Amino acid sequence: MLVSCRQLLQRPVEKVLFAEDFESYPDNSTLPDGWWYEGSKAVRIEKGRLRADANLDNNGEDYGASTIWLDRTFGGDLRVEFDAHVLASDGDKNNINFFFLFVDPSGRPLSQTKDERSDGEYGKYHALNGYVFTFLADGDPDKARFRMRDEPGFNLLQENFAYECRQHKTYHVAVTKKGSRIGFAVDGTVYLDKVDDAANPEHKSGIIGFRTWHTDLWWDNVKVTQLQR
């Protein structure tokens, strides 16, 4: 079936706002410009991937938590995609978390307040504004736990127990936001899908962060796309 020029012009055009595959950085280098970490100091670019070690097995980590921020504000309708791969996690915690559209309610840039969260302690993020997604095994790699929370207040918006979260396997994660509807998908299947009509006003813009707890893992192929309604 032929597609007319008019039909092509009417199709929504997606615009890639940011893409990073970490391939252009030397092995074992520090974070690129525009990124910073909080929590475990065992953070580096390794084999073209963004690695964070917060698994407390005396292998260079100093805290059991790690948060890595990209200092760039995104807003509107978005899709954020990335790959994640757990290398080790004592007790099969296999913790893959994501911070979405985070801002400081005081208006200060998060990069200016990073020293206040230098240990990466989870509770210190609960006073900020944004969405928190968790994808983890919590001791059972055959049944993943998915949660979507709203900050401030760590309010649970939705929860699902499904699929898996294993070590030594790469997962493709996609977070989407169209208006107030937010979705979280792994390997093409949506596990969380919620209209944000809960405790706090809808978060419309902010920065993104990659978070883990008691887990050694890497992230790769980060892409942020502007969606058209």
Confidence at residue 93, expressed as pLDDT on a 0 to 100 scale: 97
Contact 115, 220 (CB under 8 A): no
The Cβ-side half-sphere exposure at 209, using a 13 Å CA radius, reads 28
CB atoms within 10 A of CB 91: 11
Close Cβ partners of 4 (under 8 Å, ≥ 6 residues apart):
none
63 Cβ contact list (under 8 Å, min separation 6): 39, 40, 41, 54, 119, 120
User: Which positions of the chain have pLDDT values less than 50?
Assistant: 1-3, 5, 7-9
CA atoms lying within 13 Å on the CB side of residue 184 = 25
Is the separation of the CB atoms in 208 and 173 below 8 Å? Answer: no
Q: At 77, list the tokens.
A: 């309708």
3-state SS string over the chain?
Answer: CCCCHHHHHHCCCCEEEEEECCCCCCCCECCCCCEEEEECCCEEEECCEEEEECCCCCCCCCCCEEEEEEEEEEECCEEEEEEEEEEECCCCCCCEEEEEEEECCCCCCHHHCHHHHCCCCHHHHCCCEEEEEEEECCCCCCCEEEEEEEECCCEEEEEEEECCCCECCEEEEEEEEECCEEEEEECCEEEEEEECCCCCCCCCEEEEEEEEECCEEEEEEEEEEECCC
Domains of the chain: 13-226 (2.60.120.200)
Tell me: the pLDDT tens digits for 134-156? Answer: 999 989 999 999 999 999 999 99
Residues 6+ apart with CB under 8 A from 51: 43, 44, 45, 87, 216, 217, 218
pLDDT at 9 (0 to 100): 46
- What is the number of alpha carbons within 13 Å of residue 40 lying toward its C-beta? 28
pTM: 0.93
- What are 155-166's pLDDT values in tens digits? 999 999 999 999
pLDDT at 198: 73
Each residue's pLDDT tens digit, 99-118? 999 999 999 999 999 999 99
